[in-house]
Amino acid sequence: MKTLWISAGEISGDLQGGSLLAALRGFAPAEELRVVGMGGDNLARAGQENLFRVEELSVMGITEVLCALPRILGLLRRIRREMERIRPDAVLLIDAPDFNFRVAKIASRLGIPVYYFIPPKVWAWRSGRVNFLRQHVRRVFSILPFEVPFYQKHDMDVTYVGNPLVDLVNFDGIRHIQPEPQRIGLMPGSRRKEVESLLPSFAACAQKLVQKYPGLKFHCIRSTNFTEEYLRGLWNCDVPLVMEDNADRYRFMRSCQCIMAASGTATLETGLAGVPTLVAYKVSPLSYWVGTHFLKVKWISLTNLILNRTCFPEHIQHEADPEPLYRRMDQWLSDPAHFEQMHRDLDELRELCGRPGSARRAAEALWKELK
């Protein structure tokens, strides 16, 4: 029996890792492959023994990571001890480079082959990290088409498997759902700092909007690692807020006229679901300064990056305050024709992201490597 260690450092990585592992079971049943590591509910349901929970690592931004550093270092020491004890045949890292690079170094020092699914966006900033990947990672499984020539240019083995969100969103299964007028979706993020910075801004924006559009209804798609009570504590206004279960998120997204969402995987999910989305993000002043000086890309939203143009408006830092958010939403709601070009762009997005089956393609490529 072989043993695979999967390390997912974020909720989105757990979601996509769960799909990959479920597909991997088609090639490697439980009696042939044991899977352990760090993950959440999705990887657990697919059969991973979670020695560490993804919720132990939920930080974003430079100053936020610095504050959590003692806890992160303690977690890495525990991971090293378990990896030394189990000695897996391979380690598969999923996204979360600030954490998983350290896991890669631990495995590499133990002589364990390392693979990377959803590699870091070294093409966006800190491109020198590609040298670390070349040294410690045997093969990259890429989900973005424009990544392949970048890694090939740097003499790395790369396999393009398509984007797993194409399968998860399953547009063919939800395309018939029509948006309900004046239903606004909210996706404030899966990290505590994201939610605490954005949800109060969304609330203040909602308060202004209902004064002009009294029929608006706001629905929050709740991330599984936050309680409803916690989220309602950040909704500091008297506008009613409906909480939606995360389990059927794509059908619900499709029912929204538009969505306000934190930048991240969610904005590609809404794009593949064909829903106009306002992208918002706030970080600490230091993180924002570093980003403005060192980012090598024009956009932060994956939807815009894949399309190579602005489809979803991006409201970053002060532009994510209530007044700029209100002006954008007022513009949309006063003239829904603004959505027409966006819908055409999102049709193109689905074509660029490729056909379904990325999880199976990634699983098959990984199993060949393991054998």
Rounded Cα gap, residues 180 and 293, in angstroms: 41
The answer, yes or no, to whether residue 123 has pLDDT greater than 80, is no
Same domain flag for 66 and 140: yes
Same domain flag for 79 and 160: yes
Token couple for 28: 């490697």
Rounded Cα gap, residues 150 and 158, in angstroms: 10
pTM of the complete model beyond 0.85: no
The answer, yes or no, to whether residue 62 has pLDDT greater than 60, is no
- Model confidence over 206-221: pLDDT tens digits? 999 999 999 999 999 9
Residue-wise burial string across 274-307, b where 16 or more C-beta atoms lie within 10 A, e elsewhere: bbbbbbbbbbbeebbebbeeeeeeebbbbbbbbb
CB 201 within 8 A of CB 268: no
Same domain flag for 305 and 328: yes
Find the mean pLDDT for residues 185-200: 93
Same domain flag for 205 and 162: no
Structure confidence at residue 63 (pLDDT)? 45
Considering its fold, how many domains does the chain have in total? Answer: 2
Same domain flag for 363 and 248: no
Structure confidence at residue 125 (pLDDT)? 62
Same domain flag for 185 and 308: yes
- What CATH number is given to the structural domain containing 9? 3.40.50.2000
Same domain flag for 125 and 192: no
Same domain flag for 185 and 300: yes
Same domain flag for 34 and 90: yes
Structure confidence at residue 64 (pLDDT)? 52
Same domain flag for 97 and 147: yes
Quote the domain boundaries for residue 121.
Answer: 2-167+356-370
Same domain flag for 162 and 295: no
- Average of per-residue pLDDT values in the chain: 90
Rounded Cα gap, residues 274 and 161, in angstroms: 22
- Model confidence over 261-287: pLDDT tens digits? 999 889 999 999 999 999 999 977 766
Same domain flag for 300 and 363: no
CA end-to-end distance (rounded Å), the chain: 11
